[in-house]
Structure 1
Amino acid sequence: MTEANANDILVRFRDVQKSYDGESLIVKQLNLDIRKGEFLTLLGPSGSGKTTSLMMLAGFETPTAGEILLGGRSLNRVPPHKRDIGMVFQNYALFPHMTVAQNLAFPLKVRRLDKTDIAERVKRALAMVQLEKFAQRYPGQLSGGQQQRVALARALVFEPQLVLMDEPLGALDKQLREHMQIEIKHLHERLGVTVVYVTHDQSEALTMSDRVAVFHHGEIQQIDTPEGLYEHPRNTFVANFIGENNRLSGKLLSRDGERCTVGLDSGECIEAMAVHDAAPGQPVSLSIRPERVSLGAGSEGSHNRFSGRIREFIYLGDHVRIRLEACGNSQFIVKQPIAQLDASLSVGDVIPLTWHVEHVRALDPTVVAE
């Protein structure tokens, strides 16, 4: 890493481990650089280590081994209130006996700012989250979305270099959650503050982040842009966890550079991108996104041409999910925009399927007992 690049790093996890019982590691050997000004999401299922990693950065948990640095300074012995980090929780953690303005002023008073400066910063923070008219209300008089905005403003009011968010939208209904995702994203773009965000919601991670770190069993499986994770998953776990995915099991028959041929258990041969480093004869799992499969006789030049029997149509407004029996998989899904759907198709029809080689990836074999 060059010196210029090193100056772009705000947070650095170096060989960080966390164990609660001295035996099993909740976080294993975490090495992660977080860039200044980026929106990084830690994504993963429950127990994957993402929240523990965030809590170690906040100072609410202590690493069992390794070191966490903020701006080049070790945080290992720095208490939470001296880390210059803003924090937003799912339950808002607002003081119920204080008005909105008093809640926002609190972190500034703790830092001993003068009254004029406090008033100015509170006013600016309220404007930032469009709650100027609610300054004298109490949290109990606000809706969930408004309370979340206050919590956000309170985390930003003292202008920290880093803001941590732990499932902050989990308590909101779907529509409000989606609205707040865009609001937080726009706020981040405007302020340029570094955000580390924890969620188990994959669509939230894809919508909001510059980069996403996918956690599983205490390790980062892949860290990439949302598009990189979705289009180029490095292993079966990432392919299955991010978005919808058709999985087919088979054995590697041959490999030629980046491409390979896989023989399915059901007899078909598929040409795919060789991601997993398997030798001929070894098992692999194929990953194909439902929207990358073409129905009908199109894509004449495609090497991957098969047929499938339609089992079910699932109408979702803007698109239809078609469940087929194809390539030995009775749950093979194809997504079609409603405008492109052939209205003459019906359950029981056998239709041609095609997909391009670059849209199917040969990954590590699927582990059934996960």
Structure 2
Amino acid sequence: MSGLSGVSRMAPKKRSPRPSRPAPVLEISGLRTAINAPPMDLSLQPGTTLTLFGNQSAALSRLLDVLAGFLPHLGGTIMVGGENVTTRAPADRRIRIVSPRDPLFPHLDLCNNIAFSLRANGQSRTDARAAAGRMISLMGLDGIASLRPAELSAEQSLRVRLARAFVTSPDLLLLDDPLHTLDPQAARRISILLGTLSRALSLSVIHAVSRREDALRSGGEIAIFHDSMLLQCADAARLYDRPACVEVATLFGETNTLTGQVLDIGDDVARIHLACGGIVDAMASEELTEGQECLVCVRPDRISPFFGAQGLGLDEDGDSPVRGILTDSTHLGDHIRMRIRCAEGTEIELRRPPLQAQKIPASGTAVQLAWPAAHATAFPPGPGMY
């Protein structure tokens, strides 16, 4: 008898199925909100925040009103929780919006303002006030439940409007730049509160903002708009380091934009002769070709200055650096801003940490500028932009 006759073969292990990604709480397909705007696609996962930032606050407000159902769309579909709500009335979309166009009721006190939505949906007065009381505690409004809107500060008023939206447990909360009327300290407090509550309640949020610092505080993906056109949607690091176009680089990254001509391209790096003088390297966008005019986008904090005896001189290929004169420098607390003027008039802004720039040369000092290729991006010039 074979010694293997009594040994049973082990069945192959079955691979555990990969966890499926949750369905988006919001999915926009081919949505158009303005006649001259191309269709846009966006999606939002449950429990996350998407921040909208652009050059026109009115265009972002219109997008939120279209999503909420208060304004008509010009094409496309809006899916919420897997259901098509494109043609539904606002009350049937499971979406709540906090905007300047939805103020508090001046004749109701704080508690009744919060309870109003629940009462309108048929809840009893007792249950609605109990739910409002829980939201008052959650939003840090204890002790002022009997105050009327006219007696509230701007921050307190916003907390009440947020509570009025939260109390209905919506699938999606839309915020139309509620922080822009607050002082910086209050804006930071509300940002922290929103982050804490959205995580605790697994709430999905779309937050339109007019200030870049408010977009950065969100911590999630940021959708960049030019008027009603969606340019790019990504996290802040990618928007800074790999902008999709010149408009994203200038609008979000506050970049220097320098004109030049592409000498050659190799391994996705373009070698460029700048109009202001000097030959530099930059990451080449997909549309860029050799011999083409271009725009080089480089952020002020990615540029290194070399003053006087620190000059770069000529490199081994005989390429010359960007040269200029320091025109002014300003200490702004967390960084020092310097302005450099090139011979033909181009101005370049750079920013250095104070510890690395304690001894700032005097205005009029010659300077040479450099940056790694990975910290700049070259694009074809946009039609009619520059």
Look up the match of 1:358. Answer: 374
Look up the match of 1:16. Answer: 31
Match status 1:148 vs 2:158:
yes
Equivalent residues in 2 for 1:133-282, closer than 5 Å: 133-282=143-292
Q: Any idea what SS the aligned residue of 2:339 has? A: strand
Q: Any idea what SS the aligned residue of 1:131 has? A: coil
Q: Deviations over 1:179-232 (max 9, x none)?
A: 323332332233220001112222211211411111124221000012211222
Q: If each structure's strand is expressed as a fraction of its own residues, which one has the higher value?
A: 1
Match status 1:34 vs 2:50:
no
Name the CA shift for 1:291/1:182 in 2 (closer, same or farther; >3 Å).
same
State the distance in 1 between where 2:99 and 2:119 align. 21
Which sections of structure 1, spanning at least 5 residues, go unmatched?
none
Look up the match of 1:78. Answer: 88
State the distance in 2 between where 1:289 and 1:344 align. 20
Look up the match of 2:297. Answer: 287
State the distance in 2 between where 1:47 and 1:39 align. 18
Letter in 1 for 2:32: Q
Name the CA shift for 1:116/1:365 in 2 (closer, same or farther; >3 Å).
same
Q: Quote the offset at 1:339 in angstroms.
A: 2.0
Q: Quote the offset at 1:237 in angstroms.
A: 0.1
Q: Deviations over 1:74-123 (max 9, x none)?
A: 11221111212121113661011111110111111112224443233212
Look up the match of 1:341. Answer: 357
Q: Deviations over 1:224-243 (max 9, x none)?
A: 01221122211100000013
What is the root-mean-square deviation in Å for CA atoms of aligned residues? 2.6
Identity among equivalent positions (%) equals 28
State the distance in 2 between where 1:173 and 1:149 align. 14
Look up the match of 2:12. Answer: none
State the distance in 1 between where 2:169 and 2:345 align. 53
Q: Work out which of the two has the higher radius of gyration on C-alpha atoms and give 1 or 2.
A: 2
Name the CA shift for 1:279/1:213 in 2 (closer, same or farther; >3 Å).
same
State the distance in 2 between where 1:207 and 1:137 align. 31
Letter in 2 for 1:345: P
Letter in 1 for 2:142: E
- In 1, are the aligned partners of 2:282 and 2:374 still within 8 Å (CA)? yes
Residue range with higher mean Cα deviation, 302-311 or 313-322: 302-311
* TM-score, scaled to structure 1: 0.90
Equivalent residues in 2 for 1:68-107, closer than 5 Å: 68-90=78-100, 93-107=103-117
Q: Quote the offset at 1:136 in angstroms.
A: 1.0
Match status 1:119 vs 2:134:
no
Name the CA shift for 1:8/1:336 in 2 (closer, same or farther; >3 Å).
same
Name the CA shift for 1:48/1:191 in 2 (closer, same or farther; >3 Å).
same
State the distance in 2 between where 1:255 and 1:173 align. 48
Name the CA shift for 1:171/1:14 in 2 (closer, same or farther; >3 Å).
same
Q: Deviations over 1:37-80 (max 9, x none)?
A: 11111211227742222111100012222211111111122111
Letter in 2 for 1:181: S
Q: Any idea what SS the aligned residue of 1:132 has? A: coil
Q: Any idea what SS the aligned residue of 2:67 has? A: helix
Letter in 2 for 1:333: E
State the distance in 1 between where 2:73 and 2:82 align. 17
Q: Any idea what SS the aligned residue of 1:28 has? A: coil
- In 1, are the aligned partners of 2:312 and 2:368 still within 8 Å (CA)? no
Q: Deviations over 1:153-194 (max 9, x none)?
A: 111011111101112122223442333233323322332200
State the distance in 2 between where 1:363 and 1:132 align. 54
Name the CA shift for 1:327/1:48 in 2 (closer, same or farther; >3 Å).
farther
Which sections of structure 2, spanning at least 5 residues, go unmatched?
1-17
State the distance in 1 between where 2:74 and 2:382 align. 32
Q: Quote the offset at 1:30 in angstroms.
A: 1.6
- In 1, are the aligned partners of 2:24 and 2:43 still within 8 Å (CA)? yes
State the distance in 2 between where 1:224 and 1:328 align. 36
Q: Quote the offset at 1:8 in angstroms.
A: 2.8
Residue range with higher mean Cα deviation, 360-369 or 58-67: 360-369
Q: Any idea what SS the aligned residue of 1:4 has? A: coil
Look up the match of 1:53. Answer: 63
Q: Any idea what SS the aligned residue of 2:259 has? A: strand
